[in-house]
Structure 1
Amino acid sequence: MIMRDAIAHEGRTVALITPDRVLASRVVTELARWGVLADDSAGMALADTPGAVLLRLIARLVESRFAPV
């Protein structure tokens, strides 16, 4: 409600900074109900970064004791 009220005044912008992706998604959904398009620029989840994917693959390789594919 605070965000909606703030953007109702011309020239104002608001930002929500949270590490909680579920909360951010809920806020975007609620703002959309009032016709407000929110830019959810959270980026990529840590588990989906190239470095994390590589580490998961290495862990799987070690767990399988370097078994052939």
Structure 2
Amino acid sequence: MGCPREPQLLEKCISRSVPVPTLRLLVELGWPVDCSNVTARVASGIYSGEYRTAVLEWLDELPPPPHQQQQNTK
């Protein structure tokens, strides 16, 4: 399942590849964060120098956050 919301546990869950603030932000926004997926998708963008693009592409593939599913009309 997703990462725990507590920052300390979240940091342990992420692994050394993914920046804590980014994953924390995703969790706060309500995304169903899968740690292994975040590591694979986001970290690859960091190392290629296209971090922002990797995050945006990863977000595009996610379903809407739980609090937006009912009101999302896209």
TM-score by length of 2: 0.28
Q: Which has the higher contact order (CA 8 A, sep 6+)?
A: 2
Which of these two proteins has the greater Rg computed from alpha carbons? 1
TM-score by length of 1: 0.29
